[in-house]
Amino acid sequence: MDGCELPGGFLVEVDYLGRLGRKLFSQADAGQVVNFKDPTSGQFLFPAFTSLTKELRGNQVSGNTTVTPQPWFENQIQAAIGTDCTTAFGEPNCTQLIADSSLKNLALKGDVSDTLQAMNFFGILLNNAGLPGQFSTNAYITNLSSSNYNSMLVTLRKNLSRNLQFDFNYTYSHSIDNESSIANTVTGGLVCDVTDLRVCRGNSDFDATHIFNANGVYDLPFGRGQWLGSSSPGWVNQIIGGWQLGAIFSAHSGFAFSTTTGTFPVGFVFDSPAVLTGNASALSRHIHTDTDGTIQYFADQTAATGALSNPLPGQIGNRNNLRGPQFVNFDMSLGKRFYMPWSEKHTLQFRWRNYDRINQSVKLHQRTRLGN
């Protein structure tokens, strides 16, 4: 903390505040997808799924319908059905079976959780091959959450002089964590991947880069002892004296939030955000209503959608990489102090208050969905 007193009753103070949170309460999913290794080929689940997903996405552009056989699918599906996929389903291989079935759209999105569950349901995947056969989700309480907060607080304060006093505070800060909750309780948020605690590390849900607060009081210079009407008689002083203006102002920049994709590449309890694959400038915000009356968050919805994509299998997208609208609040009051006739040491005060909140947006849900 460092303070400096200036002429005119002003005081400037600069403070730094930092806080580290380690081993905070959170929830994790013991039933999330495991990068299961096919013992025959040595190929792991995520690389096999990633190859299939990328090929399916490429086929959307090229118009091709065939996919390259992946040993993981070939061996695991054949182990479940007891024969090859040509004999059982008339498909050239078991990887092609996924591409030609109703599971194609899930694999296309990179949704490993739903794909594995459906394969198991249809009898083409054995229990516990990448996903627990007994249950799809097994949440438990743990201490795998962490956070850190750094901020600079600048305060300009004017002590009462010439009828005026005020405080102005500006905070520049950054809060980062791997899950956000309002308190360190066992009902905290969810760690999105228990095998990689930093993959969801990003801006906290409540992070606001800039915060402004100001308050002040001004005694109007009318009435006895004031600039105007300093020698007013009692009845005049009751009318023109004792007036006071007050104001409270607060504002902050937008809170961080994420996109959603409707894709579950790691577990059923975490809807993965989109992955930024293009230029970050395409995510420029300009909340507006387009020609058909739809509320849009991005300045250029087409460019923003083109810069984002669904996650690949086992991949978590970019958490809290967007910012909501800024918030401004202004509260003003007007007060009148009446002096009691028996003694000016006793007063009666009335106050009128005007409350105005300006939120620089329309009502926008704090999740932006990436269209498939």
Q: Is the pLDDT reported for residue 368 higher than 70?
A: no
Percentage of residues in the chain with pLDDT exceeding 90?
A: 60
The residue-averaged pLDDT of 138-143 equals 88
Residue 137 has a pLDDT of: 85
CA–CA distance from 199 to each of 258, 263, 315 (Å)? 14, 16, 9
Higher pLDDT, 35 or 2: 35
Instruction: For 79-146, give the secondary structure using H, E and C.
Output: HHHCCCHHHHHCCCCHHHHHHHCCCHHHHHHCCHHHHHHHHHHCCCCCCCCCCCCCCCCCEEEEEEEE
Dihedral over Cα of 100, 105, 106, 108: its sign? positive
Give the confidence band of 354 by pLDDT, cuts at 50, 70, 90. low
**Encoded amino acid at 193, one letter:** D
Q: Is the pLDDT reported for residue 343 higher than 60?
A: no
**Encoded amino acid at 331, one letter:** D
Residue 185 has a pLDDT of: 62
Residue 68 has a pLDDT of: 97
pLDDT digits (tens, 9 = 90+) for 67-93: 999 999 999 999 999 999 999 999 999
Q: Are strands 259-260 and 368-369 parallel, antiparallel or unpaired?
A: parallel
Residue 135 has a pLDDT of: 79
Q: Is the pLDDT reported for residue 366 higher than 60?
A: no
- Convert 162-189 to b/e letters by CB count within 10 Å (16 or more is b): eeebbebbebebebbbbbbbeeeeeebb
Name the residue ranges covered by the structural domains of the chain.
2-25+147-271+312-369, 32-121, 275-309
The radius of gyration of the chain's CA atoms, rounded to the nearest angstrom, is 31
Q: What is the mean pLDDT of the chain?
A: 87
Q: What is the pTM of this model?
A: 0.79
The residue-averaged pLDDT of 207-215 equals 96
Residue 358 has a pLDDT of: 47
